[in-house]
Amino acid sequence: MKQVAIIFSGCGVFDGAEIHESVLTMLHLEQQGIQYRCFAPNIEQHHVINHLTGEEQAETRNVLTEAARIARGDIQDLEQLNADDFAALVIPGGFGVAKNLSDFAFKGPESQVLDVLKNICQQFNKQQKPITYLCIAPALIGHIHQPGTKATIGNDADTAAAVTALGAEHVECAVTDIIVDEQQKVISTPAYMLAGNISEASAGIEKAIKRLAQLID
């Protein structure tokens, strides 16, 4: 059975991977009969946010250790991810994508991404294997794929402008829909960039994973 790799960016919407999106990704992959394995970079988070108060905490946490909470401990260092072993890749959103996997949250169109992440994603792309980006993760697309690759973060004008400045072609999208660049085999959906509840987020993610399954086949 073919496997899909999932890359997490920590644990928690404000400083890591968005938990609902991460769990929905695993659920919808399983419902499509697709096995998955989880990965995260073994690095310190940019910062730690108290999710009750929204305040920054005077502590440090490790992205891989935190992501292991979502993966129930079944997770590996991102350095161990080999595109040869997987049929596709999914990157859930959350501010960890823009703070830990990249510095998009701080530098927008001047941002950079982790070298290991960029190299891995480009290996999937070179092998013509599909990649699904959720929520804010499409902000990575301009760094990874050829100029003009279609992407969506929904309809936020400022974020869309930054995505466009990085080289992607931003396309507005409803929360329950997806944007697919057929040539690049890139799928994106707004998820919690627009979702008002978990059901709305699930609808778009389910559609994205179903399209991913079709591209794998």
Token pair for 70: 């979502």
Query: Pick the catalytic residue: 38, 121, 135, 173?
Result: 135
With vertex at residue 205, the alpha carbon angle to CA 38 and CA 94, rounded to the nearest 5 degrees, is 60
* Rounded Cα–Cα distance for residues 98 and 106 (Å): 8
Write down the H helix ranges in 32-151.
63-70, 95-99, 104-107, 115-126, 141-144
11: annotated active-site residue: no
Quote the crossing angle between the two packed helices 198-216 and 19-31, to the nearest 10°.
40
Among all residues, which ones are annotated catalytic? Answer: 135
